[in-house]
Amino acid sequence: MTAIRTRYAPSPTGDPHVGNIRTAVFAWAMARANGGQFLLRIEDTDQARLVPGSIEAIYTSLRWLGIDWDEGPDIGGPHAPYVQSQRLAKYQGAAAKLIAEGRAYRCYCTAERLDAMRAAQSAAKQPPGYDGRCRDLASAESERRSQLEPFTVRFKMRKTGQTVLRDLIRGDVTFENALQDDFVALKSDGFPTYHLALIVDDTEMRITHAIRGEEWISSAPKHLQLYNAMGLEPTAFAHLPLIVGADRKKLSKRSGDTALLDYVRGGYLPAAMLNFLVLLGWSLDDKTSIISREELLAHFSIDRVVANPALFDIERLNFLNGHYIRQIETRDWEREVHDWAERQLPPSIPRPLDRELLAEVAPLLHERTATLGDIAPSITFLFGDEAPEYDPATLSEKVGGTSEAVRILDAALLALDAVDAAGWDKAAMEQAIRGLEGPLKMKLRKFVSVLYVAIMGKAQGIPLFDSVAILGRERTLSRLRKARHLLE
């Protein structure tokens, strides 16, 4: 049996988005789970869409996730180069051969003519597609004009019968050849289209399984017919399910499909992201939601990928991220807290930061942080004398009016002022603040929001009793007084 070889073949058109990186995860997992090889190939044939820096972003994204490749532009390999713009002669040779064998033809139609053709088709409510004007040019004439005019090379699709895709995930998918179109295989600038480059490269690089997004499924008949015309055995195909957002529509920027590197900057952990991405279409069984890299590589199989759309549920990602955060060892966690605080606390807070204070607050954060990006906003209030700025209206928002908020602040001031600096600890804070339930005739759950806003500038945050204990007597009382003052 030949070893499995898969590839990730991104186009360098910007920082890769999470939805696209999911394809890399599946192709990589399939190769690794089967003792095969995984390749990285850069598909830069659409020169107009290139974005500088994308290739670096692709490397950084994959490395961050722990995805390694056996052959690729940076490390080379037996089928180098792994960048399509450096392989043009191969595609041009393949196109010339197809022309010589009568399976492709030069097309001299100009962009203007093609536009007019499309407009007429659309006006007549006909399906779009090339009308075949250059399909039957005599070869001598075609040859002669090729010296004088620019041309594309179109593939002659078979227009009768059916083409059947045997998809590993979806089973057989049948396409009517009558609906197929003679597509451009080589553009007038000598660059191939995706279709031709795919066949040439997957063949030469000995890819066994083309794992790609569902958006390519309608192109599959082109690819199968090209393989056939070139006398080549096609790879197996697996079209991964669509990813949809909470609105059940194709994942978009708005529903979370932004650059993977945005998630890195937001404080997601690679283990959580990998776990999350692989569950977008695959599952280990019907119950396991936490899957380590090791388990993934031991158990991934394309048979358990489903065709139904996968829901991109950011809550699930946050849950997984929290789970992996809780696995971090105490020392490492303290380092994370320190690093993220250094990086993200407002520049007005003097550096270096108080390490002891950070170590004190680290355990409180460890229990409840969903993303590392939450660390700095949760602890800003501990630095400086004043609470972070807030809208005074938020003080009374949850307690039904200014007079209630005033009553709560007065009671809290009275109770906390009675605790002296020596006895100012978490237990004393808990006793004093819980003790307000009686006099206020109100549940802690309800009045606590006023204290949160006064102390932290927002209605929720890390545990209040600990926070007030860490903040200390003077700063706590002065913030409560200030809040009281704001309400007057």
Q: Provide the annotated active-site residues.
A: 253
Tell whether residue 10 is a contact of ligand GLU (CB under 6 A). Answer: yes
Select from 5-13, 180-188, 227-235, 275-283 the region that touches ligand GLU (CB under 6 A).
Answer: 5-13
Burial class (CB in 10 A: 0-12, 13-18, 19+), 332: exposed
Kindly indicate which of the ranges 6-14, 374-382, 403-411, 470-478 contains the residues binding ligand GLU, using the contact rule CB under 6 A. 6-14
Give CA 51 to chain center in angstroms: 18
Which region, judged by CB under 6 A, interacts with ligand GLU, from 7-15, 237-245, 271-279, 313-321?
7-15
On whether the CB atoms of residues 99 and 105 are closer than 8 A, the answer is: yes
Q: Which residues have C-beta within 8 Å of that of residue 193, sequence separation ≥ 6?
A: 45, 183, 184, 185, 186, 187
Could you tell me the end-to-end alpha-carbon distance of the chain, in angstroms, rounded to an integer? Answer: 81
The correct pick among 5, 212, 475, 484 for binding ligand GLU (CB under 6 A) is 212
Closer residue to ligand GLU, CB minimum distance, 26 or 383: 26
- Of 113, 210, 226, whose CA–CA distance to 169 is shortest? 210
Q: Minimum distance from CB of 63 to ligand GLU (Å)?
A: 19
Instruction: Give CA–CA dist 131/114, Å, rounded.
Output: 9
Binder to ligand GLU among 107, 210, 317, 448 (CB under 6 A)?
210
User: What residue type is assigned to position 195 of the chain?
Assistant: H
| Closest CB to ligand GLU among residues 107, 210 | 210
- Tell me which stretch binds ligand GLU (CB under 6 A): 4-12, 96-104, 388-396, 442-450: 4-12
Cβ(10)–Cβ(194) under 8 Å?
no
CA 69 – CA 28 distance, rounded (Å): 8
Pick 199 or 291: Cβ nearer ligand GLU: 199
The residue count for binding ligand GLU (CB under 6 A) is 8
Q: Which is nearer to ligand GLU, 221 or 457 (CB)?
A: 221
Of 4, 15, 43, 235, the one binding ligand GLU by CB under 6 A: 43
AA identity, residue 463: P
Q: Is residue 395 packed enough to be buried (19+ CB in 10 Å), middle (13-18) or exposed (0-12)?
A: buried
Task: List C-alpha distances in Å: 122 to 119, 126, 129, 385, 390.
Answer: 5, 6, 10, 68, 57
Stretch that binds ligand GLU, among 108-116, 152-160, 209-217, 375-383 (CB under 6 A): 209-217
The C-alpha angle with vertex 338 and arms to 261 and 366, in degrees rounded to 5, equals 85
Closer residue to ligand GLU in complex, CB, 217/436: 217
Binding mask of the shown chain, residues 11 to 30, with x at each position contacting ligand GLU by CB under 6 A: x-------------------
Where in 242-271 is the site for ligand GLU (CB under 6 A)? none
Can residue 198 be called a binding residue for ligand GLU (CB under 6 A)?
yes
Cβ-based nearer residue to ligand GLU, 53 or 102: 53
Q: Which residues bind ligand GLU (CB under 6 A)?
A: 9-11, 43, 198, 210, 212, 216
